[in-house]
Structure 1
């Protein structure tokens, strides 16, 4: 749980294990990615966020559930950065095996980003006057959707500045509705995440 007053200095072993796993995935992702410029564009935001979270660890302590979500989303970003989101092997195989129209790793990643709603919910409950209820759920979903929309704007700007060089970063795979699909998947993911994890999250927060 987040707490700015009198946090113990001891590092949770599960949190340390998550950090080690994420670090190993980062090192793997760094070694011979498909395109280093695309890797930098994909990985840099997650890396900056991770460093920020580590820097504030002793002052801003999340629940283990939130750290698991952060670790998972960071790892998914590292995988996408290594292969590019259009060419993740498992989803290439799924595309060929089931005759899908595209590699769906990008859509899967945006759906999983809906898990951020749990982390955002925790911040809202601890750092604002909001209490457990429908409003905090609605605001958490809205912020998650806002983050997804902001990322689509960044992709659009990158595509306008350097169309050919950022094709793999944008990852639209020729779909003119790609941004709308991505935001929709993030929205659906956030709703499902809150439906599945809210009760558990409340218990973890009460434990402190």
Structure 2
């Protein structure tokens, strides 16, 4: 893919992300919970857009960022425990909970590829065991930090309903452990299946 085609692809991704963001902001389940949910993805997008010319990522990394942002905006619009498709799955397969949150945390493992790109391009760590170890550690650290932020929101938030929806436990006391574990597994699978493609894009 030449430079012009890559740029057009990146613009197309940005268009879809902005379109879903605007849709997400129209009559969400609640604007407070919507803000809490979409803020991390919105902040990441601002960083990506402002650094585009100085530090351009691979198209794979941009696709992953776009996909995860869209998933976050969908979850913010409905709240993660009330996404309609996963409510349908819950009802038709007799599940105990809406698993959109679990699905989202699993796919967040894809961010390991973005982390991989940062380390390969900006650190002296070479390909091999230690690169994989540091990538997985960083991915798990980010996931853990997010769970801590969710927990802190319940301690300092005044809107009990919004903070409960943001926490999204759905009655499972092990929800945080599930979320972190799924992100960790997703990160491992992302490295197994996408590292070769990513290396070709990085030309290493």
TM over 0.5: yes
Indicate the residue corresponding to 2:36 in structure 1: 41
- Offset, 1:11: 7.1
Correspondence for 1:124 among 106, 119, 130: 119
- Offset, 1:160: 1.8
> How big is each residue's C-alpha offset from its partner over 1:141-188, in whole Å with a ceiling of 9 and x where there is no partner?
110110000000000011122343311111000111000000000000
1:161 aligned onto 2:156: yes
Indicate the residue corresponding to 1:61 in structure 2: 56
TM-score, scaled to structure 1 = 0.93
Instruction: Give me the CA root mean square deviation.
Output: 1.5
Mark the CA change 1:68 to 1:203 in structure 2 (over 3 Å): closer, same or farther. same
- The alignment partner of 1:169 has SS state of helix
1:188 aligned onto 2:189: no
Between the aligned partners of 2:118 and 2:153, the Cα distance in structure 1 is 30
Between the aligned partners of 1:92 and 1:98, the Cα distance in structure 2 is 10
Paired residues in the alignment total 200
Runs of 4+ in 1 over 6 A off after TM superposition: 8-11
Q: Is the 8 A contact 1:22 1:71 kept in 2?
A: yes
TM-score, scaled to structure 2 = 0.95
Indicate the residue corresponding to 2:175 in structure 1: 178
Between the aligned partners of 2:107 and 2:165, the Cα distance in structure 1 is 20
> How big is each residue's C-alpha offset from its partner over 1:108-140, in whole Å with a ceiling of 9 and x where there is no partner?
010000001000000000000011212111111
Give 5+ residue unaligned stretches, structure 2: none
Give 5+ residue unaligned stretches, structure 1: 1-7
Q: Is the 8 A contact 1:9 1:58 kept in 2?
A: no
Indicate the residue corresponding to 1:51 in structure 2: 46
Indicate the residue corresponding to 1:148 in structure 2: 143
Between the aligned partners of 2:6 and 2:39, the Cα distance in structure 1 is 25
- Offset, 1:44: 1.1
Structure showing the higher helix proportion among its residues: 2
